[in-house]
Each structure stands twice: as C-alpha cells, then as structure tokens.
Amino acid sequence: MEYKQDLKPFEDKMVKTLSVLDNDFNTIRAGRANPRLLDQITIDYYGVETPINQVANIQVPEARMIVVTPWDASLLRELERALQMSDLGIPPNNDGKNLRLIFPPLTEDRRRDLTKQVGKMGEEAKVAVRNIRREAIDAFKNKLKHKEISEDVYYDIETEIQQLTDRFVEKVDEAVSAKDKELMEI
C-alpha cells in the first residue's frame, strides 16, 4: 500500500507511548530494588541540578538493597538529604562512605494499591494510543476531503490504523499484566 509510510509517524508516536508507560512503571517501587527509582532524584552540584546517577555509583548488591557511592565524598550529606526529601519513603543508612537504601517487603494492601496504580497508568496509555488513532484518521479524512486519496484507499488506511491501534492496546495490556504479576510476587 502506497500510504503505509504515512502511517509511520503515528506508529512512532504509539511506540513512544509504550516507552513512556515503561518508564512510568520503573518509578513504581515494587519491593525489589531498582536503580531506576533514583533517576528522578537530583542534587545541587556546583549550582546545577544533577541526577544522582551522574555523581555517584549506584549498585544493587541484593534484591532489596541499593547502595549509592558518591564519586566525591563531600557529596555524601547532599545525597543523603536528597534521598530523604524524595518520595521514595525509604530512609538512607549512611555508613560514612555509602548510602544504603533497604526496601522493606510490600504488604498485601500496598501491593493491591500499586496494581490499581499500574492499571490506571495502563488506561492512560490506552487513551493516548486511541488519541493517536483519532489523529491519524482525521489526517486521512482531510486527505480524502481534499481528494488526495480515494474512498477505497481511505477505508483501507482506516482498517490499517485500527489494526495498529489494536496491536498497541494489546501491548499495553501485556505490560500491565507483567507489572501486576511482578507486584503480586512475594
């Protein structure tokens, strides 16, 4: 089909939506230590807000522990303060050289709350995918209106867009299901 390349920008937007959903899932504290939880936390480093992973080594020596080792020992207090002020809800343990974040096991209620949050994120991603579908259909309707494409081509494209949308909605469902399974794991 000659208009397949015209669908590429819309498919790329759907791929980005999945990528954003994946990043959102990484910010959910699942009971396991995930260094990506620290990606949003910054410190003031010589007057510049700098992500922690750019001023310290971040390791996961155990399933429920993250160790943050600053490259410059003078940053230890600043890192500790940033972690305490963050929304992680885990106080860092300072041993003079490293900061240890020990993740407690999740309670059943907290797991259920997190799965609800994951479901909400999944619904938002599906809405975003459907909005991209609407945007694509509107773009091709406009081409039909200006007689740039025939009705037959328009209906073929519309079917193609719907199949693309269905595929991405299914991928969102799979991602939500995988994250739910991870959260409910003990």
Tell me, what CATH number does 179's domain have? 1.10.132.20
Collapsing DSSP states into helix, strand and coil, what is residue 29? coil
Q: Are residues 16 and 40 in the same domain?
A: no
Do 70 and 79 touch, CB atoms closer than 8 A? yes
pLDDT in tens, the chain (186 residues): 566 778 899 999 999 999 999 888 877 766 677 788 788 888 888 888 888 888 889 998 888 888 999 998 888 888 888 888 887 778 888 888 899 988 888 788 888 888 998 999 999 999 999 999 999 999 999 988 998 888 888 999 999 999 999 999 999 999 999 988 888 875
Residue finishing a domain among 102, 119, 145: 102
Q: Are residues 21 and 111 in the same domain?
A: yes
Residue finishing a domain among 102, 132, 157: 102
Structure tokens at 119: 């479901």
* Partner residues linked to 51 by β-bridges: 42
What angle separates helix 108-145 from helix 151-184, to the nearest 10 degrees?
A: 170
According to DSSP H, which parts of 27-150 are helical?
76-85, 108-145
* Pairing of the two strands 56-62 and 65-70: antiparallel
Q: Are residues 112 and 23 in the same domain?
A: yes
Structure tokens at 173: 């469902």
Please give the Cα distance from 118 to 183 (Å, whole number).
10
Among residues 106, 102, 32, 23, the alpha carbon closest in space to that of 68 is found at: 102
Which domain CATH number covers 42?
3.30.1360.40
Domain span at residue 17 reads 4-27+107-184
The pLDDT score that the predictor gives to residue 3 is 67
Do 79 and 51 touch, CB atoms closer than 8 A? no
Residue finishing a domain among 77, 102, 127: 102
What's the total number of domains in the chain?
2
The pLDDT score that the predictor gives to residue 5 is 79
The pLDDT score that the predictor gives to residue 175 is 93
User: CB burial class (10 A; 0-12, 13-18, 19+) of residue 151?
Assistant: exposed
Whole-number CA gyration radius for the chain: 22
Q: Please list, in sequence order, all residues whose beta carbon lies within 8 angstroms of the beta carbon of residue 110, skipping any fewer than 6 positions away.
A: none
Among residues 44, 55, 53, the alpha carbon closest in space to that of 81 is found at: 44
